[in-house]
Chains A and B, each alone.
Chain A
Amino acid sequence: MASSSSTRSFDVASLVEDVNLRRVLQYTLVLLFLGFFLVPLETGIMTAIKTNESVARSLPFAPPASEGFTLGNLQFAFERLADSFVNSLIMAIPATVGSVLLGSMAAYGLTLVDWRAQLGVLMLFLAGIFVPYQAVLVPLARFWNNIFPLARMLQPFVASIPFLEAYHANLAPLVITHIAYGIPICTILFRSYYQSLPSSLVEAAKIDGSSITKIYRRIVLPLSKPMFGVVFIYQFTQIYNEFLFAFTLVVGADAPAAPVTLILPAIGASTSGIDFGIRMSAAFLAAIPTLILYVAFAEQFAKGLRTESG
């Protein structure tokens, strides 16, 4: 049904044909919801580029008048956020790559083979997606602080790497944590894709005597390129946006290794209240990486979400 109208060319005749009460109502609702989803974003952007005086005087969603326009808020917010941006990327990129690769490997191992306890193992992976992180926070904090202080151990080494500071070592436990907790979702995303691949390909290679590693490298990996895109975008968004693990492992918004999400709620706040011009600027700067990915790859992002729900 949807396809019949999308193939119709956009001409006046079809427009007139479409105009009836039901159509008008349908489009009105569609546009109303467009407003519902866009107004908070539009308001935020407009507030980000207004002077304090203009924020107080004009309507929140109205564009700034010429004398109320400023890029000062954005500049101030960027200066506060710049270091944490670097922290977020140093954390999110390796964590994404690690969890996506391990997820792909696990999914390959679990779709290729057939053994009795396989379903049980799969259940454990699946349940891992839904476990609330609060249930592991206390052990995580104790493990990385008291039992295995990886951050402290790595500091001299990380300091010797060009462009990195000693405090970036504090991100190492965070990266490993994100990889470990990202494995379940990545595995499930890849598994549904591998199940849809033609099994004849893998079977033929097996008969030819290819090893499991060779099949993975020569056949499965090249075929899963599109799925790598989907999982990478989905997973990067999740890890970059994550707050609770960062909060637990990099304590304090003033910690030098704090990722963006950790310091955002503190920007523009003072005893006299919140400076919303600065706060909105910071919110948008913080959102830019995932917004760009989303606008460029919305379909892949949606695909990740759809697969996540089974």
Chain B
Amino acid sequence: MATHDQTDHVTESAEEVVGWETRLRYFLNSDFVRSSPYWGIPFVLMGIAVYGGIGYNLAISFTDYSGLGTPDYSSLDFEMYTQALSSDAFLAAAQNNLVLLVVFTTVCLILGLFLAVLLDHGIRFSEKFQTVYLLPMSLSFVVTAQLWLWMFNVESGILNLIVTTFGFAPVDWIGNPSVALAAVIFALVWQFSGYTMVVYLAGLQSIPDDQFEAARVDGASTIRTYLRIIVPQLKEASVSAAVVLMVFALKAFTFLYALVGRYRPPNGTDILATLMVRRAFKFGEWAYSAAIATMLLVMALGVIGPYLYYQHKQGSL
């Protein structure tokens, strides 16, 4: 009995050793390990930069670091967050962010859809027109800001030429706080509506032509066909274009900075991104600007999170 037990035990542990070795060998030969140099290196580099950076930023935002020496991590609190949330400058910037997010995205989607529909149907040289409509997208924010600074110029800008032709007084588009944000959105729409057009055109081209034919046979007008049959099928294109546009809107810092070439954007157009960079690089309030950046990231997550979940649910990842 005892010997039997022992032999049993020996065979069992021998089996175990073999099993462990086999499993290790199997693991080392698996696609997961052998392909890891390919996805692993980029993943580590990207992971440190993006997620390490976010974590580091979060840590600094809980300190009261102001640029001298090293941050003091011994007393962590939410002071910078409460300070930001109770400041008028922060609230105004957050409000502008929301306006920019909603208005810019909506206008870009509508105009982009309109352009796509316009070019989708039997237009000669349609590709050439698409190329021109998308052209601004290849330019830097810094360049487009210069072009629009000139378009919006008080004395001789084209916008004011149009306004005065209709008998109105010239408007200081960039200098007047009550119109500056609208002017910025207008210029951004100029740069990005071609992008929405491209996304919608790809969506339109994936819809079979016979749906148009069927609608026509049923006697539906073109506008009706689009509104009732085509546009509802473009939901996925709309969602992904909207997400990209919103992220661009959150990043509009560069455009606003380049508009005047200074830390402070034109009056009334401060957004969280410009506020954050000014606080950090002009005043050296690193912890405070890290806190603002965290809240900006939370806003972005509010857009990205549901999008990734939606994509995941659709199985389109």
Contact = CB atoms under 8 A, between A and B. Distances in A.
Most A Cβ at <10 Å: residue of B35, B133, B199: B35
Given A124-B51, A132-B251, A138-B60, A109 B40 contact: yes
Main secondary structure of the interface of B (DSSP, over half): helix
A33 interface: yes
Nearest to B122: A5
B180 interface: no
Interface in B211-254: 212, 222, 236-237, 240-241, 243-244, 247, 250-251, 253-254
B296 interface: yes
Nearest to A129: B247
A239 to B, nearest CB: 11
Contacts of B156: 55-56, 60
A183 to B, nearest CB: 4
B142 interface: yes
A32 to B, nearest CB: 10
Most B Cβ at <10 Å: residue of A10, A34, A36: A36
Nearest to B222: A22
Interface stretch (A66-74, A112-120, A158-166): A112-120
Nearest to A285: B143
Most B Cβ at <10 Å: residue of A40, A241, A280: A40
A177 B312 CA distance: 29
Given A30-B123, A40-B148, A112-B35, A305 B199 contact: yes
B48 A180 contact: yes
Interface in A188-210: none
A134 B118 contact: no
Nearest to A293: B138
A125 B146 contact: no
Main secondary structure of the interface of A (DSSP, over half): helix
A113 B35 contact: yes
A154 interface: no
A57 to B, nearest CB: 9
B285 to A, nearest CB: 10
A139 B150 contact: no
B43 A2 contact: no
B132 A243 contact: no
Contact of B139 (A106, A247, A290): A290
Interface in B53-76: 53-54, 56-57, 60, 70
Given A60-B150, A135-B293, A105 B41 contact: yes
A183 B42 contact: yes
B296 A135 contact: yes
A33 B115 contact: yes
A127 B272 CA distance: 20
A123 B317 contact: yes
Contacts of B257: 243, 247, 265
A2 B244 CA distance: 27
A137 B158 contact: no
B151 A40 contact: yes
A176 to B, nearest CB: 8
Contact of A113 (B31, B45, B133, B276): B31
Most B Cβ at <10 Å: residue of A103, A128, A180: A180
A106 B138 contact: no
Contacts of B157: 60
Chain B contact-residue range equals 35 or more
B273 A132 contact: yes
Given A2-B120, A37-B190, A183 B46 contact: yes
B158 A39 contact: yes
Given A243-B254, A310-B311, A180 B293 contact: no
Given A37-B133, A264-B142, A184 B50 contact: yes
A43 B121 contact: no
Given A105-B39, A137-B277, A183-B46, A280 B139 contact: no
B294 interface: yes
B88 interface: no
A272 interface: no
21 contacts: A1-B212, A2-B120, A33-B129, A39-B151, A40-B136, A102-B42, A106-B39, A109-B39, A112-B38, A121-B39, A121-B43, A132-B300, A134-B272, A136-B49, A180-B48, A283-B143, A287-B143, A294-B138, A302-B198, A305-B134, A306-B202
Interface of B: 30-32, 34-43, 45-54, 56-57, 60, 70, 115, 118-124, 126, 129-151, 153, 156-158, 161, 190, 194-195, 198-199, 202, 205, 209, 212, 222, 236-237, 240-241, 243-244, 247, 250-251, 253-254, 257-258, 260-261, 272-273, 276-277, 280-281, 286, 289-290, 292-294, 296-297, 300, 303-304, 308, 311-312, 316-317
The 8 closest A-B pairs by CB, nearest first: A109-B39, A109-B38, A136-B53, A265-B261, A180-B49, A241-B140, A5-B122, A294-B138
